[in-house]
Each structure stands twice: as C-alpha cells, then as structure tokens.
A and B are shown apart, each in its own frame.
Chain A
Amino acid sequence: MNEQHPQHFLGDTIIECRNVNKWFGEFHVLKDINMKVREREVVVICGPSGSGKSTLIRCINRLEQHQEGQIIVDGIELTNDVSNISAIRREIGMVFQQFNLFPHLTVLENITLAQRYVRQRPRVQAEEIALSLLERVGIPEQARKYPGQLSGGQQQRVAIARALAMNPKIMLFDEPTSALDPEMIKEVLDVMKELARSGMTMLCVTHEMGFAREVADRIIFMDSGRIVEIGTPEHFFVNPRHDRTKLFLSQIL
C-alpha cells in the first residue's frame, strides 16, 4: 500500500529492468540499471542532462536498443523478436518532448489513425473514443483542426490523448513540458495529474519537481548513466542520502 495515494493499491511488477547496459559506440550511456515499476505506480525519473534518463525510457519501448541485461514488460521480455516488440508497444503509450503529431492529419485523425490500423477498431468507434479523450484532456472543440493551428500546450494534450486512445497499461513521458511556454505547462501537468489519480502506471522523465512531489510514488535519480538513488518523495526531497543527490537538489530547488 502506498502512503501517498491510499486510494489505489499498487499491483504487481509491470516493468522490470535487470542489469541493463547500453553503449552509444564507445560511450557507456546506461550502466547496470536495475529497477522495478509496479502497476498503478507513478515513477518520476530525474537527473542532470546527459544522465541517460530519456535513453532509459526509450529503451523500454524499443525506440533504443539495449546491449546487455533484460527488460521485462508485463511478463514479456524485450528481445529482437518482432512479436515481442509489437506486444510490448501495444501496452505502452508514449508522449514526446516535441509532441510529434502528424501535421498532415487533423487532430481527430491523429488520434484515430493507430486505433484503426493497429487496434482495428471501426472508424465510428475510434472517433467516439477520440472525442471522449479530447474531452478528458479538455479540448474537444479542436477535433477538426490541424496540429499546426494549435498552441503548444494544446498539441501536447492531443499527443497524450493519442497515446491514451490505444488503451495502454503504461504511459511513458519523455520531458513532456520542456518544449512548452511557461503558461502552458500547467494545463499539461493537470492532465497528467488526473491521469495519475485515475490509476495509470506512469513513468515520467521531467524536471517538474512540483509535479513529482505531488503525484509521484517514487523518484529515481540518475547521474552519468547509473541510478544513484531511489526513494519516495518524502525521503528524496527531505532527506536525500547520496551526496550526488544532495548536490543536484541544492542546484534545482
């Protein structure tokens, strides 16, 4: 049971990384990563730039490939097997820093595209789901517009809706608010908080410490490719134990 959120019970381990190592050429970017994420847990990964946080979560849905170690998502191991990769990607939704909406499709089409061609839903059903998600993220009126006609915050919310439309079990966030103007960060964070409260398993890379303090079950701090400290928000912010953590927190808080 979680102290932060007594209203939802954490489930079994849904993401597990065992001794994961990754190199870019000669550069050792992920060093002996060992961590677990449980169902309905909200985990925030933070750390200085270049610490490998984005690389780690991109490895989890195979946007990057790890060389050593095991990554296991919902019991399926991430290998070179194409069916494993597809199965894992079906369970995971991802939101990018640069939104990456498809500019030649409308907002509605962005959200229904993968539903129709990967989940094989009929168009009408896909659109219903899309519209309800747009309501959930607060911008139902933008459905027929093109991404280029929306503001940054609206685009990112559409991106979240697009990922949610696939009914993933896990949502990965790669610095979702870093490319936004300050006044739009709040609207995106609100959506993410609502998502967390509804019981979604979330793994977020972010610099938003307020968000972390409020919503996260655990915080993972990485530096130079290795995990330096894992702790609950209380422990992490109030009583950091590793020197590196203390240094980092003193710089950002």
Chain B
Amino acid sequence: MSNTLFDKVWDSHVVRKIEGGPDVLFIDRHMVHEVTSPVAFLGLKNRGLKVLYPERTFATADHNTPTINQHLPVADPLSANQLKALESNSKEHGISYWGLGHQKNGIVHVVGPEYGITQPGATIVCGDSHTSTHGAFGAIAFGIGTSEVEMVLTTQCIMQPKPMKMRININGELGKGVTPKDVALFIISQLSTSGATGYFVEYAGDVFENMSMEGRMTVCNLSIEMGARGGMIAPDETTINYVKGREFSPKGEAWDRALAYYKSLKTDADAVFDKEYTFDGSTIEPMITYGTNPGMGMGISNAIPKAGEVEGGAATFAKSLNYMGFHEGEAMMGKPVDYVFIGSCTNGRIEDFRAFASIVKGRKKADNVTAWLVPGSHIVEKQIQEEGLLDIFTEAGFTLRQPGCSACLAMNDDKIPSGKYAVSTSNRNFEGRQGPGSRTMLASPLVAAAAAVTGVVTDPRTLIQ
C-alpha cells in the first residue's frame, strides 16, 4: 500500500488504536518551557507520578525571559517564579534544564534543532503551537495543551485522532527579495487562517528542496497559522548534513541505522492526499500583512483588499482594519513604522540576521524607528558576532539583544506600545499580541530591514543591489 511521509512516521508511533476514539501516539522527544508546564508538573505531584523518560525530555526557558541584562535577577516576580518552577521541576525529575544563563538557553524551537534533539522521522511535541517548526526535518511535530504535557511527562504518549493529509506543491524560481517567510505568508494568504485546520501538511516541490534548513524551519513553523496541526518536508541531503554530528544526534553504528531510516522517509509516488494545492513560486512577491490574523497578507506592492474580495464576514474584516487604523484599497507601501522586531522561532536564526544585514549594511537606522534584534539562541548570537554582522549592525545604529521569545508575544518587557506600528518577523499579528494595543505587520527579515532604514513600509527589492 502506498503511504505518505506523514503516514509512515505516524503509523510507526501508534502504540494502540482506540475503537471510536483517538490513537495512542508515542512521543520520541518532548520539549518543555516555563509557561505551559508548571500546571502539568503540579498534576504529576498531585497524582504521585514521575516523568517516565527524563532522557526524552528537554527544558529551556524562553517565553518569559528578559533580552537585556540576563545576568541580573528577573525583575517581574511572576516571571521569576515561573522560571524558578521550571528549574525546580526539571531538577526534581532529572530533566535536562537549560535555564537563563546556560549556554544552551534559547528559544525552544531554535535550540532543539541546533543540538540535534530534532531528528527526521521522530515524533516531537511541546506545549507551544510553533512546535510545527521541527517538521522541517521530516518529523511529526506539533503543539499540545498542558493536559497533554502532563500525559507526555508521565507516559510519553498522547491521545490524538490522526489528522487528514494535505500536500502543498510549489515549484519555480523565487524572485529577487523573496524569502521562505514570504512563501509561507503567501500560502497562508491563499488558504486563510483556518484553511488547513484538521490537516497535517507536507510541503513539496523544488522551492522547498532548494531551501536551507533554516528556511524550511520558517515555513514549517508557520503551518499552524493556517490552522494545520503541523507541516513537514521530506528529509534529504540538506537535512542529513545539518543533523550529522550534533550533540544529541546518533553516533557510530546508531548513526548508520538512523541514516537508513531517514532515507526511507518519503511519500510514495502514488500515495493519495485528502487535499492538494499547487502554486507557482515565481509569482510570489515579498509579503506583508495588513490585518489581525496571518491570513490577511498580500504582496507588498498591492493595495489592501476590499471586504467583498476576501473570505469571511464584512463586520470581522472592518473590525480588523479599524484596529490597524487602515482602510480598504490603501497601499501598504509608505505607511509609517515605529518599531521593527527581528527574531522569534519564525525568523530568529542566522540566515535571518544575514538577510537583515544585507540591507542595513552601509545604511543607517531611521530615527523614527526603535529596532529590537533578538537572536533565537546563543549559537545564533555567536554566529552574528563571528560573521561580522554585529559590526554591520553597530555601524548602522542597531544593537543586539540576548536570546528569547521577546516581542513575539511580549510576555517580558519587550512590548510594542499601544497604537504603535511594528514590522515584525514573528508569526502572529493578532490584536495586542505584541503588547496591548500594538499593531503588527508581519513580514520577512528583508522587509523588516527595509522598514528599519527607511522608517516606512518599503519594498526591499528597491534596496537590493
């Protein structure tokens, strides 16, 4: 029987099928962070249970952490308490703990792949919807709720109905200034914010094959923004070269066995998907969002659509534009920008900072812009320094902050003030996401860089040599 990549990984992890119910799915790797885990650990305590496989469980602090002065005590007592809870819970249960100040500390979806915790063909969960990021390696990776975090801690399993399968094919050469973020925002704009709900997506075609692992992670990261539980890309030489030799990657004979398994992970030629889309990569422009969900995106040179031209009710559309202070039919280009944020599990990797540097090099930060540059991990931070990108940023008037989730969800002090406009490389433009009253325009690192040096929404293609 012909199977998809998703079928192969899912089916090989089913411990038991329940009649008229979900599958019991075994989880290979469990990533834990401070926000969605304390109540799960409390549940274990109340039931007198232990973590079944501490060696499959990895904890890092990222959502609540400050991005300056990380050597000082965390000022917010609630944040400090949550960080402390993660540390004590990890120690009590013998879990690897990479807290603030640890050299491996960073955004959970950045450090997981960096240290080889993320493996092709694995099942990976975390109490965070952007766990879909790890699908870039041909893993089944998705976000779970706290009750499920408790299930995985104590039994290494969750109970999930098997999702339907979707494939998104994109072939063709991407145009100048078009990045993986633009490809993802384009797909979401076509499918809408709920267009892939109920599905697990496989991305296929030469556009994805030609992407680096960083680019693939950006695409898979955003799968949840069209409602998909996750997205995945079949492992190839690019994947294997990335995974090989990392700290938690298999070694020696175990590597040889793993390699044989990785190479079996592809969709059979005649496998059938429940839904399939095909797009032409050469038609994709640099993208920007104009509304309050990630499906409200458009090519940067276009005008904001009219209510009648988009899916959904007119009242919801009007509410969204009203929140943003935008109007139907307006151009996005030239709109003033107050803040620029580059970072997050979507675009906080080295390639993203290289892209940002390629535009700001030899230019100056616009006076009206406050820019927050936040690397996803200490490895990324170090690469930025070693590659000379930090010098470029400093010369152009930018400073680099310390790793963390930062302004993506504004749980720490990195909040966009009410009414202000941010061009952000993160993943959600929901009302208040980056701080109460904040107004977010999602875009690529290139679009963010163009805004940072001009002070307005600008097509980065006009600044690329």
A is bound by B: no
